[in-house]
Amino acid sequence: MNKQHSNDLTSGSVLKHLITFSIPLLLGNLLQALYNTVDSIWVGRFIGAKALGAVSVSFPIIMILVSLVLGITMATTVLVSQYAGAKNQQMISKTINNSLLLLGGGAIIVTLVGLAFSEKILILMNTPKDILDYATDYLNIFFIGLIFMFGYNVISSILRGLGDSKTPLKFLIISTVTNLILDPIFILGIGPFPQMGIQGAALATMLSQSLSFFLALRHLNKTNHVISFKLKDLKYDAELTAKIFKIGLPSGIQQIVVSLGMVVMTGIINTFGSETVAAFGAASRLDQFAFMPAMSLGLAVSTLAGQSIGAGKNDRLKEVYKWGSIAAILVTGVTTIFVMAAPTFVLKLFTTDIQVLETGSRYLRIVGISYVPFALSFVINGMLRGAGDTVSTMIFSIASLWLIRVPLAKFLSSYDSLGSNGIWIAMAVSSILSLVMSQVYYSTGRWKNKSLIKKPALQETA
C-alpha cells in the first residue's frame, strides 16, 4: 500500500494518533456545520425569525433522506479501516469501487424523493403556515445539490478508513470560504446578482458543496492514489454489498429512526409557535458545535479500533477507549461551561428577538447538562462501529429516542408550568440514559466478536 496515501494506526502512541487524526476531523466537522450555521446567521439577521425557523425545520427532513447513504458510508469506513489494518490492498480497492457505485445510485434516488415530497412532509410536520413557503424553497434547492454532498462525504469516509483525515479538510476549507462569500451576495443581492433571500442561502450552500466534491474528485484523478476514481473500475460485488449492508443497514436505519424522531420532536416544538421554532433552530446550532469534538473523537476512535481489529491487536482497544473518553470529557466539559454560563451572548449571533433569546437560553441551560454524557456515547459507539457492531448502536438510539425522548417530551410539555421546557428536559434525560445503555453493553465485551475480517488476536506489549 502506498504509504503516502495511508496511515498505519495500529502501532505507536494511541493518544497521539487520536489527537492528530481527530483535529482535522474536528476542523472539517466545524466547517461543515458552518454551512448551515452561516445560513442561519444571515437568514436570521437579515430576513427574519420566520426564515430562521424555516432553515431549522428543514434539517431533520434532510437527515432522513440521507440516512441510508450515510449508513453505506459508515460501512465503507469500517471495512476500509479493517482491510487497511490487515494490509489487504485488493479488498480495499474492491470495497471502494463497490461503495462508489452504490452511493451514486442512492444519491439519485434520494434527490428525486426529496424534490417530490418536500412540501407534503413539511405539512405533516405541522410546520407553521407563515414559514412553509420559506422551508419548501430552501429544501428544494438543497436537494438539487445533494449528490455533490454525498460524493464528497463518501470520498472523505474512504480516506478516513485509510487513516487520512487531512486531505478532505483542504478542500472543505476552500468550499467553506466560498460559502461565506456567496451567502451575502445571493441573499442580499450584491453586485449583478438579484436579491434571492432564503433561496440564495440554499444556492450558496449547494455551489460550495459541489466545489468540495469536484476538488476531491480531481485530487484522486491527478495523483497516483490508492483509490483513484475510474468509471471502468466501478464493478458490482455481491459479497461486498452484503457486508456493506450488514454493517451499513443498521446504521442507516438508526439514522432514519433518529431523523424521524427529530421530525416528531420538531412537530412538538412547532406547536409552541414560530418564536420557539426559531429559538430551537439557533440553540441547536450551538449543540452542533458542542458535540463536534466528541463526534470527531468518535470517528477517530472508530478508525483506530477498526485498524487494530483488522491487525489482530485487540489489547490496543483498551487504550483507544481510555484516551478517547478522557479527551471527550475534557473538551466537551469546557464547551458546556461556556454555553451554560453565557447562553444569551452566543445566541445573539443569530437573532436580537427578546423572546427567541429567552427561550433559547432556557434550552441551553437545560440541555447543556447532558453534553458530557452524550459526548461519551460518541466514543463508545465509535468503538462498537469500529468492530462492525452497528446493530447495538441502532438499538440504543431507537430506545433512547422513541421509548424515552419523544413520549417524555409530549408528556412534560403538556403541563402549562413547563411548556417548551418539558421538551428540553426530555432531551437531556434521554441523552444521559443513552450513555448508560451503551456503557453497560460495552462492558460485556461481546462487540469484539462482530468483526467481518477474522484474524488471530496478537498480543501487544505495553
Q: What DSSP string runs through 320-353?
A: HHHHHHHHHHHHHHHHHHHHHHSHHHHHTTT---
Distance CA 382, CA 18 (A): 12
> What's the confidence (pLDDT) of residue 456?
43
Q: Is 93 exposed, middle or buried (0-12, 13-18, 19+ CB in 10 A)?
A: middle
Question: From the centroid of its chain, how far is CA 254?
Answer: 12
> What's the confidence (pLDDT) of residue 376?
94
Residue 407 grid cell: 413520549
Residue 373 grid cell: 454524557
Q: Does 62 fall in a domain?
A: yes
Residue 66 grid cell: 440521507
The domain of 372 spans 13-450
Distance CA 31, CA 21 (A): 16
> What's the confidence (pLDDT) of residue 323?
93
> What's the confidence (pLDDT) of residue 336?
87
pLDDT in tens, 23-34: 888 887 777 666
Q: Does 93 fall in a domain?
A: yes
Distance CA 442, CA 288 (A): 25
> What's the confidence (pLDDT) of residue 20?
87
Residue 315's alpha-carbon distances to 16, 251, 318, 319, 462, in angstroms, are: 17, 26, 6, 8, 9
Residue 40's alpha-carbon distances to 183, 211, 258, 269, 338, in angstroms, are: 10, 21, 22, 18, 21
Residue 383 grid cell: 468503538
What does the longest C-alpha to C-alpha distance in the chain come to? 66
pLDDT in tens, 396-442: 988 999 999 999 999 999 888 888 899 999 999 999 999 999 999 99
Q: Does 294 fall in a domain?
A: yes
> What's the confidence (pLDDT) of residue 34?
67
Residues 6+ apart with CB under 8 A from 90: none
Distance CA 434, CA 421 (A): 20
Distance CA 249, CA 252 (A): 5
- 3-class state of residue 122 by DSSP: helix
> What's the confidence (pLDDT) of residue 152?
83
Q: Which has the closest alpha carbon to 149: 91, 93, 70, 77?
A: 70
> What's the confidence (pLDDT) of residue 404?
93
Q: Which has the closest alpha carbon to 90: 80, 100, 105?
A: 80
Residue 42's alpha-carbon distances to 32, 169, 187, 359, in angstroms, are: 16, 24, 8, 20
Q: Does 5 fall in a domain?
A: no
Q: Does 201 fall in a domain?
A: yes
Q: Does 7 fall in a domain?
A: no
Enumerate residue ranges in the chain where pLDDT < 50: 1-4, 456-462
> What's the confidence (pLDDT) of residue 225?
54
Q: Does 287 fall in a domain?
A: yes
Report how far apart the first and last C-alpha atoms of the chain are (Å, whole number). 27
Q: Does 2 fall in a domain?
A: no
Exposure on the CB side of residue 146, measured as CA atoms within 13 A = 29
Domain count of the chain? Answer: 1
Q: At what angle do helices 238-270 and 391-398 cross, to 10 degrees?
A: 10
